Structure 1
């Protein structure tokens, strides 16, 4: 396969608003040892993309930069030493590559690998990343579906199953329930046998959340309140598990919604504020505060299998060409679309 010398990419010269992207012709990356070059067919627009673009998220961010971590495509070329993929394989990405050798990788905690590197580069025609990033997908799975499985559904699986340990009979509250992690979290919690309460800011999204598997939907009040509604639905007890994909701006109401012996799983932080709590409130409630990492290869493989079998049904809300990446970012920032917004080179 002859690869083009150059490619089109949406490049950020520095942090800014959605119009900060410029479509440029740049050199096509070449795979080094252990790398896999993928022809990008679809890239989901995640909220990490938003906070990297606007300057809120600064970890390993160096401009100029091509972002985009929710990638699906076809293997175009292999670097030396890549053994479990071949040219033409369909693959999707996880959010970080791991070294596979440190104590965390060797003990099943690869998402906290000390030498992990973030996945980026999906807003382009080709993307070159370490082999560890890529997991094979079925030939009949649409790229628009598979692109968001790792950083979306895979993180949701990590949160619901492997961190919060949701069990049959639990009541689970999902914040940001129409987002890229929130929506699959609703589905996965329902599959686990939980009663699911979905939190949203818009009455217009109630039907979609019920279709996705929510038993009840709570629409946030104009002042940001929702704890009273959650308590009313649970006979004053609150939720056994909170899957929080929003962060600081729902923290106070979220913690008030948590039942005794509840598990509060932090998945996302969309804003820059800190939170505070009197430690006595934690031990009086016997609460567990849990940090959810990214997605492992095993978790990504699991959600690929769940999707292929029909148990998990990722929702793609909007597909736009890469040239309209600014509009894609605006839609995500406004939460204007239910389901994933995807760009296609």
Structure 2
């Protein structure tokens, strides 16, 4: 079985194709023949060693995949499933997953499309829920052209929110308009909520854009960790009763994850949400896929086809 390994932290060049051990499904597990897997920012962060001490260099990357079950409980044999793999390992031809970590993919949705939604759509889905946004509310989505951004925008529109997209790229703005975005950030609009997969040094300026009782949900650090003093902008505006929270899928129960994924797939089949794929690479082209993700030019999801 082919898999992608790294023996040290570093740039994309540390990712190599290697032979992995034969996998077997245990009790309440399935063995999945992987057809596609997602390439995400968390993979880049782990690969580059930004989580030293927490994740070993020998860690197998990839937290989401789609494929067909080839071993396990009879009910699942032959079914096409999406896999959320908290412990990684999806950059491979096969992966073992617990039955509570899989969701059946409906007919008519390809493996690549399932992964293009996948983790990104789940993050957007639960960010909106955590933000307690209601139809008619104004939501600003930072990093609008990224994988999380394009799914969060579509889910916001489906929820009846007025969406303002933040993207400095004219090319990405044109593409965002094609998925329904009508307004773009001009650094002036006040908003009810902000969905932020970017964070970074400029976060304080965005906090200042929230209306009274506004909600700010940070679900990623594509722009780096925010400065420690950013919390002062919240304290200084305490009279507006602002709320800030952080969103990690690791804090959400497995049943809720599966239910949300089923809901997202339903929306895709109803053509209310569209999987947005930036580029598809072969498994052996994983280094190029990581370079693409790090380029900042990505619109949607980068995918490895197995």
Taking structure 2 as the reference length, the TM-score comes to: 0.91
Residue of structure 2 in register with 1:197 after alignment: 164
CA contact (8 A) 1:196 1:216 kept: yes
Residue number among 40, 43, 55 corresponding to 2:49 in the alignment: 55
1:310 aligns with 2:271: yes
Residue of structure 2 in register with 1:86 after alignment: 76
Distance 1:253 1:273, change over 3 A: closer
Residue of structure 1 in register with 2:211 after alignment: 259
CA deviation string 1:222-271 (max 9, x = no partner)? xxxxxxx232xx3xxx1110000112333112112222211001111232
CA deviation string 1:250-304 (max 9, x = no partner)? 3112112222211001111232454322253241221011222316221111111
CA deviation string 1:294-321 (max 9, x = no partner)? 1622111111111121111010111110
Which stretch of structure 1 is more off in the superposition, 292-301 or 333-342?
292-301
Residue of structure 2 in register with 1:339 after alignment: 300
Alignment partners' CA distance in 2, 1:189 and 1:206 = 17
Distance 1:154 1:291, change over 3 A: same
Alignment partners' CA distance in 2, 1:333 and 1:196 = 26
Residue of structure 2 in register with 1:69 after alignment: 63
Q: Which runs of 4+ in 1 moved over 3 A?
A: 57-60, 272-275
Taking structure 1 as the reference length, the TM-score comes to: 0.81
Distance 1:272 1:194, change over 3 A: closer
Unaligned 5+ residue runs, structure 1? 1-6, 96-117, 219-228
Alignment partners' CA distance in 2, 1:215 and 1:287 = 26
Q: CA deviation at 1:176?
A: 0.8
CA contact (8 A) 1:245 1:266 kept: yes
Residue number among 212, 228, 234 corresponding to 1:275 in the alignment: 228
1:147 aligns with 2:100: no
Q: Secondary structure at the match of 1:147?
A: helix
Residue of structure 1 in register with 2:284 after alignment: 323
Residue of structure 1 in register with 2:97 after alignment: 129
Q: Secondary structure at the match of 1:343?
A: strand
Q: CA deviation at 1:129?
A: 2.0
Alignment: residue pair count: 297
CA contact (8 A) 1:75 1:87 kept: yes
Alignment partners' CA distance in 2, 1:59 and 1:344 = 30
CA contact (8 A) 1:230 1:239 kept: no
Alignment partners' CA distance in 2, 1:194 and 1:230 = 19
CA contact (8 A) 1:173 1:239 kept: yes
Residue of structure 2 in register with 1:32 after alignment: 26
CA contact (8 A) 2:201 2:225 kept: no
Q: Secondary structure at the match of 1:263?
A: strand
**For 1:219-234, what aligned pairs fall within 5 Å after superposition?**
229-231=186-188, 234=189
